[in-house]
């Protein structure tokens, strides 16, 4: 039976090697399960202590996706089993978010270069894996998004930390609309570092194997950069739709007025650009509670450290597991597939700032500390 994550070692021109971790569930677009997170974390720890490994390559099997998200089916079943319970009464959710967030943080702080090949769909949990890599590579097929508003959740896996640090209004727009970004817009925002045509990936691997690598993290960083720059398309990709509407998004999605931002996004439904129309449609169909939660989170997270952002997301994720919209969103999208979620609250006007504060209450007993207290 094939492992859900395949691990290989690439030999090179000298005694140094490259570790390759391949998410190996192409039939589910490499959706990230608890087992996959555990396997990745364990192998990354082994490679960290293996002097023969110069750097790590992280990629997905198949051509459609690097990773399209997390284990929504498993979380749905756990929420169903916990009907009527408290947020802390869901052991699967506690473990899943603990292991996933620790893996994401491990990638952010890894002592060796990690190159992430973000070919195809990169969404949700896939963004969490890619965001922390030292060399983030997109292709012409990359479709990058945090569409959690469509399932009653929020951009977790460090997404609140990432989006809160984008230029004014941009992170709020992406969180509330789940808008998809291609390679050009990702480079413009600094969310990826390099662009490589999908057809050039074999050339990159050949270059890795023909090269000699070092014991020095810095020299390997530089050498990977030089190899990627030699293979990048020239000229670069044309500007993407976010760049075309950058100033408008800045002006209309910035600031502390939640109602005004929501009204501006909803008004994009009348725009001629199909990208903006789709963003507005996703927002209007999404959970009003998630819109308010995203808005509150980005304002609270802007000055947090990465570790503190993960700690805050852990609390909010567990609370989402009993709030109702997360379970309803998965039901409507993936279980019954009727795409008719019954959101509670059903209106933006009822998703007030007072209402959202419940998501920030630690759910564990008073005698226990934060489960991620040791992170960072």
Each residue of 132-154: pLDDT tens digit?
999 999 999 999 999 999 999 99
Distance CA 164, CA 295 (A): 10
- Give the mean pLDDT of 331-360: 97
Q: What is the DSSP letter of 332?
A: I
SS3 assignment, position 181: strand
Domain covering 5-360, topology: 2-enoyl-CoA Hydratase; Chain A, domain 1 (3.90.226)
Percent with pLDDT over 70 in the chain: 100
Q: Which residues contact 259 (CB under 8 A, 6 or more apart)?
A: 348
Q: Does position 1 have pLDDT exceeding 70, yes or no?
A: no
**Domain ranges (residues) in the chain:** 5-360
**Does the predicted TM-score (pTM) go above 0.95?**
yes
Contact 65, 120 (CB under 8 A): yes
- The distance from CA 178 to its chain's CA centroid, rounded to whole angstroms, is 11
Q: Is the pLDDT of residue 262 over 90?
A: yes
Average pLDDT over residues 56-79: 96
């Amino acid at each position: 039976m094939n492992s859900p994550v395949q691990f290989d070692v690439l030999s090179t021109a000298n005694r140094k090697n490259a570790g390759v971790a391949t998410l190996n569930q192409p039939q589910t677009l490499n959706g990230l399960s608890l087992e996959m997170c555990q396997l990745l974390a364990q192998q990354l720890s082994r490679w960290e202590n293996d002097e023969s490994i110069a750097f790590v390559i992280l990629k997905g099997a198949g051509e459609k996706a690097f990773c399209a998200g997390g284990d929504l089916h498993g979380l749905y079943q756990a929420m169903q089993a916990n009907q009527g319970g408290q947020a802390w009464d869901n052991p699967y959710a506690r473990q899943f978010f603990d292991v996933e967030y620790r893996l994401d943080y491990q990638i952010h702080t890894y002592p060796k270069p990690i190159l992430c090949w973000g070919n195809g769909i990169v969404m949700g949990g896939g963004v969490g894996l890619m965001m922390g890599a030292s060399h983030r590579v997109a292709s012409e097929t990359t479709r990058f998004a945090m569409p959690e508003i469509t399932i009653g959740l929020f951009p977790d896996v460090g997404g609140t930390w990432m989006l809160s640090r984008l230029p004014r209004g941009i992170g709020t727009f992406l969180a509330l609309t789940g808008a998809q970004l291609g390679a050009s817009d990702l480079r413009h925002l600094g969310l990826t570092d390099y662009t490589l045509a999908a057809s050039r990936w074999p050339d990159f691997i050949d270059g890795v194997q023909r090269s000699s690598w070092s014991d020095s993290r810095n020299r390997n960083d530089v050498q990977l950069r030089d190899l990627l720059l030699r293979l990048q398309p020239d000229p670069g990709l044309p500007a993407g739709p976010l760049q075309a509407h950058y100033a408008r998004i800045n002006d209309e999605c910035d600031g502390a007025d939640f109602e005004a931002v929501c009204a501006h996004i909803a008004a994009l439904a009348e725009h001629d650009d199909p990208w903006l129309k789709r963003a507005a449609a996703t927002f209007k169909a999404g959970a009003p509670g998630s819109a308010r939660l995203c808005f509150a989170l980005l304002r609270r997270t802007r000055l947090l450290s990465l570790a503190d952002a993960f700690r805050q997301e852990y609390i909010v994720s567990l609370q989402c597991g009993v709030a109702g919209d997360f379970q309803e969103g998965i039901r409507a999208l993936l279980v019954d597939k009727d795409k008719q979620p019954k959101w509670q609250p059903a209106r933006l006007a009822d998703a007030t700032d007072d209402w959202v504060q419940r998501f920030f209450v630690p759910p564990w007993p008073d005698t226990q500390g934060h489960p991620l207290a040791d992170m960072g």
